[in-house]
Amino acid sequence: MIETRRLTKQFGDFVAVKQLNLELQEGDVFGFIGPNGSGKTTTMRMLATLLDPTSGEGYVCGHSIYTHRSEIRRLIGYMPDFFGVYDDMKVIEYLEFFAATYRINGKARREVCERVLEMVDLTFKRDRFANTLSRGQTQRLGLARVLLHDPQVLLLDEPASGLDPRARIKMRELIKRLGEMGKTVLVSSHILPELADVCNRIGIIERGELIVNEAVVDVLRQVRKQPVLEIAVAGSLAEARALLEQETCVEQVETRRVDGAEQLLVTLAAGEDRYGRLATLLVQGGVELTLFKEQEVNLETAFLTLTQGIRA
């Protein structure tokens, strides 16, 4: 659905995107991760045929971004980070205006507008003026707008930017649903942990170069080479620590304070992934466990780990 080959964009001497190779299939929800100025928006604008590449190739649904711009624009929905709404238009009028630009006419126009409003949970705001919506509602209205013509590919540039926690959850649910509908979604975000919940693949771009392009599970596995356990007990940690330090599979045991209570952080040897017996060892040793779990690795940790070499 999306393919780029050595796609490059320069602004004078500055290389914004450098030889980007990317391939997304139908139903992929691809999280595009990178700091401000890393090339995310530039890449999306080239795929949306709003910006000419300097060199390289790009295809959307099999169409070249050089020679088939009209066809691509009919097949994609591009939602920029910031966009304006018309002060004198109600929500339903705003959507009907854009539906008309897609040549959706007559009864079908009202039906599709009502349908996308329901999809983004804005039906209750259909008769309010668009400029009275909250930031989160405006973002959902923007998503409704790009869904009017039922695009196969969605390019969403920081759709959760500036949203409060509840609005971010709403947006995350919407993006997940779009992937389940079989649409190909390229979504950029700086809210890294949340991308793991909606994306099946991620790309990390740094200074215009795509340095990671893998399935989410593979990225997390790459970062976490050694399991780390979080263990809390009722009573003193000393006895539990002594028992764990005798085990050959345990590489390191540390004590840390979380929410005013102490717990153990246990690093296992590389390749050790069957650690249930440690819980049995502690219980049989008379230790009462209140917490025993593997420490989670999120995309934020992955991003910091995988980019630290370049930043250095």
Any idea what the CATH number is for the domain that residue 242 is in? 3.30.70.100
β-bridge pairing 184-188 and 153-157? parallel
Q: Look at residue 88 and tell me if it is in a domain.
A: yes
- 77 and 193 fall within a common domain: yes
- 171 and 242 fall within a common domain: no
- 266 and 208 fall within a common domain: no
Q: Look at residue 301 and tell me if it is in a domain.
A: no
- 24 and 68 fall within a common domain: yes
- 279 and 133 fall within a common domain: no
Range of the domain at 172: 2-222
- 290 and 273 fall within a common domain: yes
- 149 and 278 fall within a common domain: no
- 230 and 173 fall within a common domain: no
- What's residue 307's pLDDT? 67
Q: Look at residue 70 and tell me if it is in a domain.
A: yes
Q: How many domains does the chain have?
A: 2
- What's residue 294's pLDDT? 86
Q: Look at residue 216 and tell me if it is in a domain.
A: yes
Q: Look at residue 308 and tell me if it is in a domain.
A: no
Q: Strands, E, within the chain: which ranges?
A: 2-11, 14-24, 29-33, 55-60, 63-64, 76-79, 153-157, 184-188, 201-206, 209-215, 228-233, 250-258, 261-268, 289-294
Write down the number of H helices and E strands in the chain.
11, 14
Q: Render each residue's pLDDT in the chain as its tens digit; 312 residues.
A: 999 999 999 999 999 999 999 999 999 999 998 888 889 999 999 999 999 999 999 999 999 999 999 999 999 999 998 888 888 899 999 999 999 999 999 999 999 999 999 999 999 999 999 999 998 899 999 999 999 999 999 999 988 877 778 888 888 888 989 999 999 999 997 666 667 778 999 898 888 999 889 888 787 777 677 788 999 999 889 999 999 999 989 999 999 888 878 999 999 988 787 888 999 999 999 999 999 998 877 677 677 666 654 443
